[in-house]
Amino acid sequence: MRATLKDVARASGCSFQAVSAILGARAHEFSVELRDRVVAAADQLGYRPSSSARSMRQGRTGCVALVRGTAPTLNTVSDQVLFGITSELESHDLHLALLTLDDATLTSDVELNKILRQWMADGLLIKYDTRIPARLSDVLARFKIPAIWINSRHDCDCVLPDDHGAGVRATRHLIALGHRRIAYADYAYNLSDPEEHYSASDRYAGYREAMREAQLEPALIAGDKQVPEDGRVGYSLAQLARPDRPTAIVCNSAWVAYPFWHAAMRLGLAVPADLSLFTFEVRRQNNLGPELSQLLVPDYEVGRTATAMLVDKLRDPEARHQPRAIPFKMIVGETCAPAREVYA
């Protein structure tokens, strides 16, 4: 039979009120001798506090729910985001529940409230990247559910990677190496589609900003359409075979950079001597041997910062937190070099 506070009080010879306070949050109000006696009795009895009873007393469950949608390619949660979340939660003695919900459940007043009761969550971290159900924000606001968005841009209460800043930094890096014909390539997103994830258009906007600063002409490769994976090397070959080909390319991901690398080898172009490649990724990329020059998505810091913001919001649910954009980490890598004309 599970030991109770009354059992600990009886075994330690202390009052129920004193035992409750010592094993709760007010141990500092009692002498060391009394505290030691109560803790020793609790250990001997194998006493473990009831989470449900504690929740009723404190009005909190100690649980934060990480909510994501069901689309596998749009709502993934990386291990680094999870590490950042759990690291911050542990520092506040909180724990995590992971929920995968379809759009109908996410936008249903009845279902969302039922889930919050069943999982006893104090607040939500929402990892819903694109095509967010229109009613979700309304439901959260109407029921005053403390929530922070991860990797999704909103007017407030969100934490996201600084993709615009990353686009600027990547392009400035190539400009500093003397490159003037710098293209931007994106094979996965249609940059004219407002429903696509903000990161694609933000990186491209950062590239264009840096090019304008240097009074250089932007050049977009694809970007207005998706290029199938089995057609990317061929598409890259056509771009690099042109007489006015770029000497450097900012690629939206490694899965754009690698096709250009393969195409360059077929054409007898050396990377980085003849063609510099720069990309953005969630993990360091060295699949072809030399490491790609890249800016790493700050997943750990995004997860940790979003969780810290939610903890603040739990203290003051009415507060509106300004969006936080977390900078990427630069990996110089081995696929960028000075433009050949610099050597001339």
Least confident of 52-66, 163-177, 207-221, 293-307: 52-66
pLDDT at 51 over 60: no
CA distance 92 to 83: 15
Among 41-50, 120-129, 292-301, the minimum mean pLDDT is found in 41-50
DSSP 246-292: -SEEEESSHHHHHHHHHHHHHTT--TTTT-EEEEEESS---TTSSPP
In this prediction, residue 143 has a pLDDT band, given cuts at 50, 70 and 90, of confident
Average confidence score pLDDT of the chain: 88
The domain limits of the chain are 5-49, 63-161+300-327, 163-297
| CATH superfamily, with its number, for domain 63-161+300-327 | Response regulator (3.40.50.2300)
Amino acid at 125: L
Q: What confidence tens digit (pLDDT) does each residue in 97-115 have?
A: 988 888 777 777 666 666 6
Topology match between the domains 63-161+300-327 and 163-297: yes
Nearest to 272 by CA among 340, 344, 337: 337
> In angstroms, rounded to a whole number, what is the distance separating the alpha carbons of residues 170 and 222?
19
Q: What topology does CATH give the domain 163-297?
A: Rossmann fold (3.40.50)
What is the pTM for the complete model shown? 0.80
Helices and strands, counts by H and E, the chain: 14, 12
> Can you give the pLDDT at residue 138?
78
